[in-house]
Amino acid sequence: MRFYQPKSLVELFNIYATLSPDNATFLAGGTDLMPRYERGQDMPDHLIDLKRISEMNQIVITADRVAIGALTSIQDIHDNDLLKTEFTALRMAAHDFAGAQIRHRGTIGGNICNASPAGDLLPALYAFGAILTIQTSGGTRELPINEFIIGPGRTTLQPGEVLTTITLDRNKYDSNFQKVGLRQSMAISVVNVAFVYTPGFSRLKIAAGAVGPTVVTLDSFTTAFLKDSSNLAEIIHLIEADITPIDDIRATAKYRRQVLKNLIRNFLTS
């Protein structure tokens, strides 16, 4: 296997152009990729480390937006002052994420491209309406995160495309993130959920993970709740319209349904 460490996107695309797409893989923090190889997945002939591309490892704040480089570590998401105050759910998700070693190594881009239904940053990114920027040597495309992730471990990323930036509008919404795992830390979420809202709930977006093949937004429920918030007990069942949880080694579908209802009920009434 050959290992490459380009220092810019231009250098990356020049290297990539010389390789066969079937045999080249991008590496960010490696916290998803390396365990896969340890479990026996074939290693590629060419591994391209993105970590030295500094233009993908910065958080750029403008008046209306924040643009998070895909190589930003989970720890840097956690430590950023603006994210803490304006995108609290994302910061809370980074706080509840793995242990210190993984938080320093793992990246936001890796969490998105890995496309796990239980990925902890994803509910907040869905609820905030994150826009992803994808680049190739030929150009750039942008799309919302819910159109990028299309199934468990599946995205619309084409060979040679790199996720470079995650952009969030600075709407100054309040937000919150809740995670239930089999233990407090170092545990994959059994259910995770992000709430993005305005005071008094004139606006509310709820996105939940590990209750379907991708993170889902609970639009049927929130539409009913926004019409009549006094009716919570009668409408909570509407979350069923948007979720399709399964039984797996971590929990049953029934348990996930109940946990999600409890998290939503507790949050909206607290």
Ligand X SMILES: Cc1cc2nc3c(=O)[nH]c(=O)nc-3n(C[C@H](O)[C@H](O)[C@H](O)COP(=O)(O)OP(=O)(O)OC[C@H]3O[C@@H](n4cnc5c(N)ncnc54)[C@H](O)[C@@H]3O)c2cc1C
Residue numbers at the binding site for ligand X (CB under 6 A): 25-33, 35, 50, 70, 97-98, 102, 106-107, 109-111, 113-114, 119-120, 157, 162-163, 186
The residue among 37 and 201 lying less far from ligand X, judged by its C-beta, is: 37
Minimum Å distance from CB 233 to ligand X?
A: 32
Cβ at position 71, least distance to ligand X in Å:
7
Least distance to ligand X, CB of residue 181, Å: 8
Nearest distance, CB of residue 111 and ligand X, angstroms: 3
Per DSSP, what are the bridge partners of residue 151? 154
b/e 88-106 (16+ beta carbons within 10 angstroms → b): bbbbbbbbbbbeeebbebb
Judged by beta carbon, residue 113 or residue 131, the one nearer ligand X is 113
Q: Which is nearer to ligand X, 108 or 204 (CB)?
A: 108
Nearer to ligand X, 25 or 262 (CB): 25
Residue nearest to ligand X (CB): 110
Q: Which is nearer to ligand X, 27 or 235 (CB)?
A: 27
Q: Residue 2 CB, nearest distance to ligand X (Å)? A: 16
Output 118 or 264, the one with its CB closest to ligand X: 118
DSSP per residue, the chain: -EEE--SSHHHHHHHHHTS-GGGEEEESS-TTHHHHHHTTPPPPSEEEE-TT-GGGS-EEE-SSEEEEETT-BHHHHHH-HHHHHH-HHHHHHHHTSS-HHHHHH-BHHHHHHHT-TT-TTHHHHHHTT-EEEEEETTEEEEEEHHHHEEETTEESPPTT-EEEEEEEE----EEEEEEEESSSSS--EEEEEEEEE-GGGSSEEEEEESSSSS-EE-HHHHHHHHH-GGGHHHHGGGGGGT------SS--HHHHHHHHHHHHHHHHH-
Residue 269 CB, nearest approach to ligand X (Å):
27
Q: How far is the CB of 86 from ligand X (least distance, A)?
A: 21
Q: Nearer to ligand X by C-beta: 49 or 219?
A: 49
Region for residue 2 given its phi and psi (left: phi exceeds 0; alpha: psi -120 to 50; beta: otherwise):
beta
Contacts (Cβ under 8 Å, ≥6 apart) of 76: 59
- Least distance to ligand X from the beta carbon of 64, Å? 24
**C-beta of 165 vs 222, nearer to ligand X:** 165
Q: Tell me the two tokens of residue 258.
A: 């109940």
